[in-house]
Amino acid sequence: MLSLGLTTSTATVGVAVARDGVVVASSVERTERGHAEALTPAMAAVFAEAGCRPADLDRIVVDVGPGRFTGMRVGLAAVRTLAHVTGVGVVPVTSLAALRAAAGPASGLAVVDARRNEVFVLGLDGRAPAEPTVATPDEAVALVGPGDVVIGDGADRYAELFAAAGVEVREGFDPDPSVLATWADETPSPGVEVVPHYVRDPDVQINFKVRS
């Protein structure tokens, strides 16, 4: 089983290839802007290091957000193109679920920065909320307490707020492409059916007003 893991929903542009559950090549780059420019060279480098081609893949596991709208779309466009060309199936995984998997048995929250003074949150180790949701930083803090941990770029951004509530902030966590590449078996979907998991409506809306 040859799997490609890909994440672009945060400041991390990450690509990894795993063979039979073992990561054989990976690339992780942090960039505030320029996801599109960073992704293609990263994919090329990872395929070269792994000694394989896109046509050799058995599945693709992609981070579908929530997170940065532009970053999500960059990753999904690349994955859907690969899936269309190769016919390989795609497993969608939310950014928060990827963070939760990397956190292990910790109790607390995965927190992704949603900007506009909001965060996306998901409970760790059976905690609520069980599905990705949007909250204010204060609402997120109210979900955790002393002894809990928070991870993700949203936790980093509001670290002082969480720390003041006695919550441990584990800094530097972003969705990991290696976690995605070794994701437990799920039934892949056709690439065309995989869409971004926005949670919140995009800032830009189509103007349907009819003008003369």
Query: Can you give the pLDDT at residue 206?
Result: 59
Query: Can you give the pLDDT at residue 33?
Result: 87
Min mean pLDDT across 15-19, 102-106, 107-111, 140-144 is at: 102-106
Mean pLDDT confidence for 128-156: 96
Mean pLDDT confidence for 113-135: 95
Paired with 16 in beta bridges are 5, 26
Q: Locate 158 and state its tokens.
A: 């509001």
Q: Locate 39 and state its tokens.
A: 């992704």
Identity of the residue numbered 158 = Y
Mean pLDDT confidence for 83-102: 96
Instruction: With a cut of 60, say whether residue 204 has pLDDT above it.
Output: no
Query: Can you give the pLDDT at residue 187?
Result: 87
Min mean pLDDT across 38-52, 76-90, 144-158, 180-194 is at: 180-194
Is the model more confident about 146 or about 210?
A: 146
Strands 12-19 and 22-30 turn out to be antiparallel
Q: Quick check: bond before 132 cis, omega within 30?
A: no
Q: What is the pLDDT of residues 47-67, one digit of tens each?
A: 999 999 999 999 999 999 999
Q: What is the pLDDT of residues 12-21, one digit of tens each?
A: 999 999 999 9
Instruction: With a cut of 60, say whether residue 95 has pLDDT above it.
Output: yes
Q: Give me the percent of the chain exceeding a pLDDT of 90.
A: 89
Show the domains of the chain with their CATH numbers: 2-95+174-193 (3.30.420.40), 104-170 (3.30.420.40)
Mean pLDDT confidence for 103-108: 92
Cα 59 off chain centre by: 17
| Banded pLDDT at 38 (limits 50, 70, 90) | very high
What does pLDDT average to over the chain? 93
Instruction: With a cut of 70, say whether residue 146 has pLDDT above it.
Output: yes
Q: Locate 37 and state its tokens.
A: 């420019």
Strands 22-30 and 59-63 turn out to be unpaired
Instruction: With a cut of 80, say whether residue 212 has pLDDT above it.
Output: no
Question: Are the CB atoms for 6 and 40 separated by under 8 Å?
Answer: no
Is the model more confident about 181 or about 185?
A: 181
Query: Can you give the pLDDT at residue 202?
Result: 58
